[in-house]
C-alpha cells in the first residue's frame, strides 16, 4: 500500500543536479543563519561576554574580575550612549525647534511684523506644523521610529502656536487657545498610545512643556501656566498608562517639576490665590493622572514625587515672605490633608519609588508617605507669627487626620508613621496653647496616656513610642518647674509643680499597672506570634515600665527635700531619705532575689553616709551632727544584719562554697 503523503515519500534516488542544488541551498541557508547570529551577538554584546568568559577560563581569578569590571563599564557606556543618541538628541532637537518657532513668533509679533489678523497668525504656525507633520508621516513608511519623532515635533510646534496665540499674546481668547491645546495634547496622547511609541511621546511632551517658556515676554500668568500644564500633563499620563517606559517616566517627573517649581516661584506674587494654585497643581496631577493612569509599580513613587514637589513649592512660598501668613498657613495645611488622603487612597498598591537606590528601604518610604511629607506641609509655617487659636486649629486638624489614617491602616510601617505624626501634632497643639507650667506638664502626661490607650486599642509602635516619649517629656518639664522654685522658700509637696509631679507619678503608675496589655499590644504591632513568656524584644521595655513609678517618685522626693526649709534641715532630711531608700532597696531585692536592686540599695546607703559626713562638716550643728551619724549608723547596721542572716542572696553561694570545702566559718547558719 502506497502512501499519498508527500512528507512520507522516500527521497529521490537521483544524485545528480537535484542533490547539488539542495546542498547549495542548504549552504546558503547556513551562511545566512550564521550572519544573523553574529549580528545579534554583536548587538547584544554576547561575543564580548563569551570572550570575557574564555579569558577568565585561561587567566587567574583576579584577571577574571578585572575583565568583568571592564565588561560592566563598557555596557554602561554603551547604554548611556544609546540613551543619549536615541532619546537625548531627539528631545534636544525638539526643544530647539519649538524654541525657534516660539522665539520667532514672539519677535515678529513684538516688532509688529505680523500685522494680519490673529486667526491668520495662528494659521501660519499651524501650516508650519502641518508641513513638518506631513514629512513625519512620509518618513514613517521607511523609518517608523524617526518618522514618529518628527510627527511628535509637529504636534509640539502646534502646541507652541496655541499657547502663543492665547495666554502669551492674547491673539485669541484663552478658552479658544486652551481648547486647541487640549485637542492637540489628547491627539498626541492617543496616537502615542495606539502606536506604543516612546520617542513619539517624549518629543511631543517635551516640546509641549516648553511652549509657555519660549513664548514668554518676561511676564507670566501663573493661572494660565498651571492650567496649560494640567492640559498637557493629563493626556500625557494617559499615553504612558500601563507602560514601563523609563525615559517617558523620567520626562514626566521633569515636566511636573518644571511647572510646580515655576508656579510656586511666580505664584507668590499673586497672593493667596496664586499660592493655592501653585500648591494644588502637583496634587491635581497626582489625583487626575497618577491615580487613574499610572501602573501599580509606579503609582506610589509618582505620587510621592508630586507631594515632594508640593513641599518644595510651600518652602519657596515661605521664603518669598508672602504678607498674608495666616492664609498661607491654612493653604499649606489643606495641602497636607490632601496629601495624606492621596496616600491613603493608594496605600494598598505595591511600594515604589522614583529613586532606584531607595527601593530597598520600604519602611523609610512608608514613613515619607504617611508622616514626613504631610508633616512638612503642615508645619511649614510653624514658626510664623500666627494667632494662638489658628496654631491650635492647624495642629488639631493634623492630629485628627493622622489619627484617622493610623486607625484605618493595618499593622505595619504606615500605621506606625501616622501614629507618630499624630503624637507630634498633639504635642504641637499643646505647645501652641502655651499653658502655665503645671497645667502644661499635666496635659502632656495625659496626652501620653491617651497615646498608650490608642496603642492598646490599635497596636502600633508609633503610639507606644510617642506615648512613652510624651510622659518622659512631661517628667522633664516637671523637673524644670520643680527646680525653678526659690530654694528654702516653700513647703515641700505643697506647690503647683508638686501637683504636676503627682500627676506624672499617677501616669507612671498607670503605665506599670497596665504593662501586660501594653507589651501584648506591642507584640501584636509587629505580628509576632511568640508566646508572652518568650517576648525577648520587649523584656527591657517591660522592666522599664515596671520601674518607672519608683524611679520618678525617688527623683521627685529628692528634689523636694533638697530645697526644703534650710540647707541644714534639707541635708539632714536627705541623709534620712538616702538611708531609708537604701534599706528599702536592699530589703526588696533580698526578698525577690533581685541582685541589681540590692546593689542600688548598697549604693544609696553609701551616698547617705557621704551626705552625713558632708553635712557634718558644712551645715550641721552639734545636735544635727549626732542625729545624722546615728541615723546613718542604724540604717547601715540594719543592712549589715540582713546580709549576715540566711537568705541574703549573693553571700549564700560564697559561704556554701566555703563550707563544702571544709573551711572555717559558720556553715550551720549560712546554707
For helices 539-562 and 461-483, give the axis angle rounded to 10 degrees: 10
Residue 215 binned pLDDT confidence (cut-offs 50, 70, 90)? low
The verdict on pTM exceeding 0.85 is no
In order of 118, 210, 259, the CA distances from 159 in angstroms are 16, 9, 16
> Taking residues 94-103, what's their average pLDDT?
59
Query: Given this model, what pLDDT does residue 642 score?
Result: 74
Residue 110 binned pLDDT confidence (cut-offs 50, 70, 90)? low
- Tell me the three cell numbers of residue 279: 500648591
Query: Given this model, what pLDDT does residue 54 score?
Result: 47
Residue with the larger pLDDT of the pair 83 and 425: 425
Cα 229 to chain centroid distance, Å, stands at 27
Top-confidence range, 249-258, 387-396, 509-518, 655-664: 509-518
Query: 125 exposed, middle or buried (CB, 10 Å; 0-12, 13-18, 19+)?
Result: buried
Q: What is the mean pLDDT of the chain?
A: 77
Query: Given this model, what pLDDT does residue 668 score?
Result: 38
Rounded Cα distance, 601 and 245, in Å: 69
Query: Given this model, what pLDDT does residue 470 score?
Result: 96
One-character DSSP codes across 601-660: HHHHHHHHHHHHHHHHHHT--HHHHHHHHHHHHHHHHHHHHHHHSTT-SHHHHHHHHHHH
Question: Which stretch of 52-61, 222-231, 410-419, 481-490 has the lowest confidence by average pLDDT?
Answer: 52-61
> Taking residues 575-604, what's their average pLDDT?
86
Query: Given this model, what pLDDT does residue 399 score?
Result: 92
- Tell me the three cell numbers of residue 495: 506647690
**In the chain, % of residues over pLDDT 70:** 73
Rounded Cα distance, 400 and 135, in Å: 59
Q: Tally the C-alpha atoms within 13 A of residue 269's C-alpha that lie toward its C-beta.
A: 9
Rounded Cα distance, 247 and 241, in Å: 14
> Taking residues 543-568, what's their average pLDDT?
91
Residue with the larger pLDDT of the pair 448 and 168: 448
pLDDT at 144 over 80: no
Query: Given this model, what pLDDT does residue 178 score?
Result: 74
Residue with the larger pLDDT of the pair 662 and 332: 332
Please give the backbone phi and psi of residue 384, each rounded to the nearest 5 degrees, phi first: -80, 165
> Taking residues 78-99, what's their average pLDDT?
54
- Tell me the three cell numbers of residue 579: 538611708
Question: Which stretch of 116-120, 367-371, 373-377, 586-590 has the lowest confidence by average pLDDT?
Answer: 116-120
Cα 534 to chain centroid distance, Å, stands at 33
Top-confidence range, 28-42, 175-189, 495-509: 495-509
Query: Given this model, what pLDDT does residue 21 score?
Result: 72
Residue with the larger pLDDT of the pair 160 and 663: 160
Task: Break the chain into its structural domains and give their ranges.
Answer: 42-219, 240-392, 435-564, 565-671
**HEC secondary structure over 57-92:** HHCCHHHHHHHHHHHHHHHHHHHHHHHHHHHHHHHH
pLDDT at 459 over 90: yes
**536 DSSP assignment:** G
Question: Which stretch of 42-56, 471-485, 625-639 has the lowest confidence by average pLDDT?
Answer: 42-56
Residue 421 binned pLDDT confidence (cut-offs 50, 70, 90)? very high
Query: Given this model, what pLDDT does residue 480 score?
Result: 93
Amino acid at each position: 500500500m502506497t502512501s499519498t503523503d508527500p512528507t512520507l515519500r522516500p527521497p529521490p534516488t537521483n544524485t545528480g543536479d537535484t542533490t547539488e542544488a539542495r546542498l547549495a541551498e542548504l549552504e546558503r541557508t547556513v551562511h545566512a543563519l550564521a550572519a544573523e547570529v553574529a549580528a545579534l551577538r554583536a548587538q547584544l554584546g554576547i561575543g564580548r561576554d563569551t570572550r570575557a568568559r574564555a579569558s577568565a577560563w585561561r587567566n587567574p581569578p583576579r584577571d577574571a574580575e578585572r575583565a568583568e569590571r571592564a565588561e560592566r563599564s563598557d555596557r554602561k557606556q554603551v547604554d548611556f550612549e544609546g540613551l543619549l543618541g536615541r532619546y537625548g538628541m531627539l528631545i534636544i532637537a525638539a526643544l530647539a525647534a519649538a524654541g525657534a518657532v516660539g522665539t520667532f513668533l514672539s519677535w515678529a509679533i513684538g516688532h509688529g511684523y505680523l500685522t494680519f489678523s490673529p486667526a491668520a497668525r495662528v494659521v501660519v504656525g499651524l501650516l508650519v506644523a502641518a508641513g513638518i507633520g506631513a514629512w513625519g508621516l512620509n518618513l514613517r513608511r521607511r523609518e517608523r521610529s524617526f518618522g514618529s519623532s518628527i510627527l511628535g515635533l509637529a504636534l509640539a510646534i502646534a502646541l507652541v502656536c496655541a499657547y502663543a496665540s492665547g495666554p502669551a499674546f492674547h491673539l485669541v481668547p484663552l478658552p479658544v487657545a486652551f481648547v486647541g491645546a487640549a485637542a492637540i495634547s489628547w491627539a498626541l496622547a492617543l496616537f502615542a498610545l495606539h502606536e506604543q511609541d516612546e520617542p513619539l511621546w517624549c518629543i511631543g511632551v517635551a516640546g509641549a512643556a516648553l511652549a509657555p517658556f519660549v513664548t514668554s515676554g518676561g511676564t507670566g500668568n501663573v493661572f494660565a501656566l498651571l492650567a496649560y500644564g494640567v492640559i498637557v500633563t493629563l493626556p500625557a499620563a494617559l499615553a504612558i498608562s500601563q507602560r514601563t517606559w523609563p525615559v517617558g517616566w523620567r520626562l514626566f517627573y521633569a515636566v511636573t517639576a518644571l511647572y510646580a517649581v515655576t508656579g510656586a516661584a511666580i505664584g507668590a506674587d499673586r497672593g493667596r490665590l496664586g499660592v493655592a494654585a501653585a500648591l494644588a497643581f502637583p496634587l491635581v496631577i497626582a489625583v487626575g493622572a497618577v491615580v487613574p493612569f499610572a501602573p501599580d509599580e509606579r503609582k506610589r513613587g509618582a505620587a510621592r514625587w508630586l507631594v515632594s514637589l508640593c513641599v518644595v513649592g510651600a518652602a519657596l512660598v515661605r521664603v518669598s515672605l508672602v504678607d498674608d501668613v495666616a492664609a498661607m498657613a491654612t493653604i499649606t495645611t489643606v495641602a497636607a490633608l490632601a496629601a495624606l488622603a492621596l496616600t491613603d487612597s493608594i496605600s494598598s498598591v505595591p511600594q515604589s519609588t522614583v529613586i532606584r537606590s531607595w527601593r530597598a528601604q520600604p519602611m523609610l518610604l512608608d514613613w515619607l508617605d504617611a508622616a514626613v511629607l504631610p508633616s512638612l506641609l503642615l508645619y511649614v509655617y510653624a514658626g510664623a507669627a500666627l494667632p494662638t487659636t489658628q496654631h491650635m486649629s492647624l495642629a488639631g486638624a493634623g492630629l485628627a487626620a493622622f489619627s484617622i489614617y493610623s486607625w484605618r491602616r493595618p499593622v505595619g510601617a504606615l500605621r506606625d508613621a501616622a501614629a507618630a505624626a499624630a503624637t507630634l501634632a498633639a504635642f504641637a497643639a499643646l505647645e501652641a496653647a502655651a499653658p502655665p507650667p503645671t497645667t502644661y506638664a499635666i496635659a502632656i502626661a495625659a496626652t501620653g496616656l491617651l497615646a498608650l490607650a490608642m496603642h492598646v486599642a490599635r497596636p502600633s509602635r508609633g503610639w507606644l513610642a510617642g506615648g512613652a516619649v510624651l510622659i518622659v517629656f512631661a517628667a522633664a518639664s516637671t523637673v524644670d518647674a520643680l527646680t525653678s522654685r526659690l530654694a528654702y522658700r516653700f513647703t515641700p509637696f505643697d506647690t503647683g509643680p508638686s501637683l504636676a509631679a503627682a500627676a506624672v507619678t499617677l501616669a507612671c503608675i498607670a503605665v506599670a499597672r497596665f504593662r501586660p496589655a501594653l507589651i501584648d499590644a506591642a507584640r501584636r504591632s509587629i505580628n509576632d506570634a511568640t508566646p508572652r513568656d518568650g517576648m525577648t524584644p520587649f523584656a527591657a521595655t517591660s522592666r522599664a515600665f515596671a520601674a518607672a513609678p519608683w524611679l520618678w517618685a525617688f527623683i521627685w522626693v529628692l528634689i523636694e527635700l533638697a530645697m526644703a526649709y534650710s540647707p541644714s534641715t534639707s541635708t539632714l532630711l536627705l541623709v534620712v531619705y538616702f538611708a531609708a531608700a537604701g534599706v528599702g532597696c536592699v530589703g526588696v531585692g533580698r526578698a525577690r532575689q533581685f541582685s541589681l536592686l540590692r546593689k542600688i540599695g548598697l549604693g544609696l546607703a553609701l551616698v547617705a553616709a557621704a551626705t552625713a559626713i558632708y553635712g557634718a562638716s558644712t551645715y550641721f550643728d552639734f545636735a544635727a551632727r549626732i542625729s545624722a551619724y546615728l541615723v546613718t549608723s542604724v540604717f547601715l547596721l540594719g543592712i549589715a544584719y540582713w546580709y549576715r542572716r540566711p537568705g541574703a542572696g549573693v553571700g549564700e553561694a560564697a559561704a556554701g562554697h566555703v563550707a563544702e570545702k571544709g573551711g572555717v566559718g559558720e556553715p550551720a547558719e549560712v546554707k
